[in-house]
Chain A
């Protein structure tokens, strides 16, 4: 098992280098803009040129790109993400608690998505081609067509303004409720489709017919022989879905003012604050890869068919 994990880690290595390269590109293009954005209208052109020169030297932009890249990579690996131009303090200080907030939001949203989407897909598959299935699939299609930012505002309008179940500016746990619900309900749509098609595929297999031939009721057949395989199939995509949730968090956090990395990331792009932008994109991509790695390892551990000693 440990050898399998090691091998998976090694396989992820080129991807990590690739992500570093792409985020590095942000730095290579931005500084001039960043400085002008910072001092816009405040300084003369000469002073700006001077500031830019100072900046270039400070961030090592006078070096060849590969030297810069290695330096960048080394810094990142040491947990040094540089200093935010806008916030004027180390990026790592700002990002830590925000990352935890984002993980909380996406984690709860994932649970909501699984809790609603997977049963929906399973019922759809078990009742394939009935009105229940058609209804659930239509809801699913509506879900994948729904823009997250509009859905979030809609929920605020309905629950906070019209029904007044939740305060408009909630505190504590209530603050998590609507953003997590928005993200989770939207996530339920693709999960229900995945669960449905996985289950339909499994229900066609020989061993299901064999179980029926032994006098297992339809309910037991589904719960005992179709569900485990369906859950396993859903599990393989949970890593990918977690990445989507992270992406969605950028939008949801802005709507609900949730202080996560997404909300900060959007600001950072608007500010052209390259160190901050880099760090946030890097961390999100890193979280996405780690989640996928974790899911792969978990899958290998759970599914008896995977021979991880090979």
Chain B
């Protein structure tokens, strides 16, 4: 009994540690006073200021544009790469997989710095294009790593059977392989999108003046000290993440139920 209580209490303490800072941010995003020490009545003015800030709207645009484009390109490259890697001989596979793991394992700051050197070296102006190229680069490995397990599960003879039955290679890919690996492809694409939205370190080194994503914007604001506008922004981001997770969770449990019904 006591033991059980202690367990629950411990969980409670850890959750308090994890959530207290976020909850404080959310509460103080409605605080009229700029100082954090005291409460000065409810207000929405920080939210209004946030949306009147042309800088932040531009930042959101860049964040989403880079995330959508980079995850799209990375998904195409990554899926193709996974198909190729899967059919390689053992030795080649090892070499290629090591290169694939390199950006995953390397510290972000080294990846960021090395890409910055490349862009400067070949005279690509640091800005939107360099940011996009960098994001595609660190996203592809994650797509490959999500698609490869699905390819491993795939029955190799299905594709050959389709060819024997007269399908062209592309048709066989579209009708036989793709439906089997699509969950992995979608997981990879979503992973790439989230990683891109969330990235700070690599973006920080590979972007130029005028182009910044949300993380860079938050960093430059936080460096100047406490700013209630960031609280408002945090609240909005937290709520959107929460909603997204609830939707995903619902969908997953519904799929699970469907699966059980079918079986």
Tell whether A pairs with B.
Answer: no
